[in-house]
Amino acid sequence: MNAFANLFKLFVDGGPIIMSLILICLLVATFIIIERFLYLNRIKINDEKVIDRLSSAIKKGNYDEALAICENAPSPVTNLMVAGIKYKEESEHQIQEAIKDAASLEIPKLEKYLTTLGTIANISTLLGLLGTVQGNMEAFGIIGAKSALGSMEMLATGISKALITTAFGLIVSIPATIFYNHLTNNVNNIILKLETQANELMSILKKGKKVQIKE
């Protein structure tokens, strides 16, 4: 209870408006980080389980089975597979274009919310500095109004309160920056992997078409 009371006091001392904005940044950043980690982890697990089954089905020419597998395990990779399978009867160039178009739709899904997280990492620091500047202005304004040499204690208290916003801004900004860089790196790796898997898909579809022709 004392910890909560102390935290609430710091919140009030830092200035309710600025501290509320920093708190909103914290909540939004936390939501984005958790959501992105769960999403990226889920598609990685799906990919590992599904790719072998898809390859086997397509190589045998069982396209309906392959589509069913994709529908039951939606992910960037399976969405590419669906696009390729739907155009399997077309020319190689048309299949490639269909896969590229599907990939261009998947990339924004992978990068979803990351721009917001990067913005929060920058804004939270600036909000902290804004609160500090505002607090210092108020502290010096009080001293100017008092016109007293013995106001150093008042000045120190005012500056201390003003620095609270900077501290809280950095507490939000530093983890947000770390997670932004980590998630961005993960997404870039997935995009590179998608390009490789798109080429592998083309190869698998070619083999599937050959099997179908022989039959």
User: Scanning the structure block, which residue is given the tokens 């389980």?
Assistant: 49
- CB 199 within 8 Å of CB 77: no
10 within some domain: no
183 within some domain: yes
Write the pLDDT tens digit of every residue in 48-67.
Answer: 667 777 777 777 777 788 88
Enter the pTM of the model.
0.78
215 within some domain: no
49 within some domain: yes
Write the pLDDT tens digit of every residue in 113-123.
Answer: 999 999 999 99
214 within some domain: no
3 within some domain: no
Cα pseudo-dihedral 192, 194, 195, 200, rounded to 10: 130
Q: Is the dihedral of CA 192, 194, 199, 200 positive or negative?
A: positive
Domain that holds residue 77: 16-209
Q: What is the DSSP letter of 87?
A: T
- CB 37 within 8 Å of CB 46: no
Q: Which two tokens stand for residue 122?
A: 């920058």
151 within some domain: yes
Structural domain count, the chain: 1
